[in-house]
Structure formats: C-alpha cells, structure tokens
Chain A
Amino acid sequence: ELKVEQNPLFLSMQEGKNYTIYCNYSTTSDRLYWYRQDPGKSLESLFVLLSNGAVKQEGRLMASLDTKARLSTLHITAAVHDLSATYFCAVDIWGAQKLVFGQGTRLTINP
C-alpha cells in the first residue's frame, strides 16, 4: 500500500525566513503534486512534478522531486503572510487515476 508522509505537520514561522516541507512516499510513482488549501476553499494545484530531478518555481515557492529517494520538497523563500495555508503533497498511482495524499502541513506565517 502506498503511503505518503509529510513533515512537519505544523509549521509556524516569521516573515522573511526560509523553510522546507518534506514529502516522502513509499512506492514508485510517476507524478507528484503539491496543493495549497486556504480555509473553506478548494485545493489549488501548485506544482506537478513528473520526473527525477524536476524542479519548479513559482514566486517564493520551489518544489523538487527525487524519485530515487522517493522524496519531494517544497521550499519557501522569504516567507510572507499570504503564504499561510495548508499544503498537501499527493502521489499518483500510475494507471489508477487516483491520488494518495500526505497528511498536510499547516503553515502559519507571522508578521
């Protein structure tokens, strides 16, 4: 059974600091997704990572994928309050067309 683990589950940080959220998964997979959720809102797709070594960046967020280590990271640079949200990673089970999610990381950025 595929398991996806995120850490940390809760993260409180100050504006201007850098931090990384980690996502480990237990079985080979072809795709890894990062989503953001604001309270009461839908899950917003941030990144889709398709291959080993893939790196994508959008603003202050950068995601990477190491398929050999079965690890993805979401790095936050110079955090700002607007980035406060819950972040989920999810892994695609190829051919099954369903996602296995991590527990989510609740990120709070304090002024």
Chain B
Amino acid sequence: EAGVTQFPSHSVIEKGQTVTLRCDPISGHDNLYWYRRVMGKEIKFLLHFVKESKQDESGMPNNRFLAERTGGTYSTLKVQPAELEDSGVYFCASSPPDVGDTEAFFGQGTRLTVV
C-alpha cells in the first residue's frame, strides 16, 4: 500500500514567487493534515481537512497560504507570494475516517527554501 506522498521533495524559490506543494494521502483516508517545521523549531499544525472541507485552519500563518483539497483526494498548499520566513519543511499527514482517531501517517515532507 502506498504511503503519503508529497511533491516536490525540495523547492528553492525567490522571495515574491509562488510555490505550490502537493500531498497525496493514503487511499481512503478522509483526514488530511498539513504541518510545518521552521528551521530548528517544533513541527506546527497548519490545518486539517475532512474530505474536501476545512475542519480546522487555525494554524495557517497568514493569508499568503491557501490550501485546497478538491474532490477530497489530494491536497495542495500554495504560498503566494513567498517570504523568507516561509522556509522550512512542510509535512502532510493523513488518517482514517474514524472519529477521534488521530494516529496519522506522515509523508516525507517538502523542504522549501525561499531566497
């Protein structure tokens, strides 16, 4: 069974440009989460989808970040325009639809560097 897959694995962009990260969750997992780890800091929650609906987006840092999950399958996280402080590793995770089950499976992350 395929795990959570993220694309690209690395991205280097200039300040002011736009970047779109993609996450393909495990098939059948209704819950999809985005997390971010800024250099040397803890991994922080960004948002949570249940199918195509945003359940909790309290961790989104500002309106330069837009997450979508059309059709309830894969998700994208777009940063526009990117700033230097957006650099970090962006993780996606998914979990089955059981209520209260938060044991999530993580992807390998996308390392974003804004220069």
Contact = CB atoms under 8 A, between A and B. Distances in A.
Contacts of A44: 106
Nearest to A40: B108
A107 to B, nearest CB: 16
A42 B45 contact: no
Interface stretch (A51-59, A60-68, A77-85, A89-97): A89-97
A96 B56 contact: yes
Contact of B103 (A40, A45, A95, A103): A45
Contacts of A43: 91, 93, 106
Interface stretch (B14-22, B36-44, B70-78, B80-88): B36-44
| Size bracket, chain A contacts | 20 to 34
A41 B56 contact: no
Contacts of A88: 43
Nearest to A106: B40
A42 B102 contact: no
Given A88-B43, A98-B45, A42 B107 contact: yes
Given A40-B108, A42-B107, A97 B43 contact: no
A101 B103 contact: no
B31 A97 contact: yes
Interface of A: 4, 31, 33, 35, 40-45, 48, 88, 90, 92, 94-104
5 contacts: A40-B9, A43-B106, A97-B55, A98-B33, A104-B43
What 7 A-B pairs come out closest when comparing CB atoms?
A: A43-B106, A101-B43, A98-B45, A42-B108, A42-B106, A103-B42, A101-B42
Interface of B: 3-4, 9, 31, 33, 35, 40-45, 48, 55-56, 59, 91, 93, 95, 100, 102-109
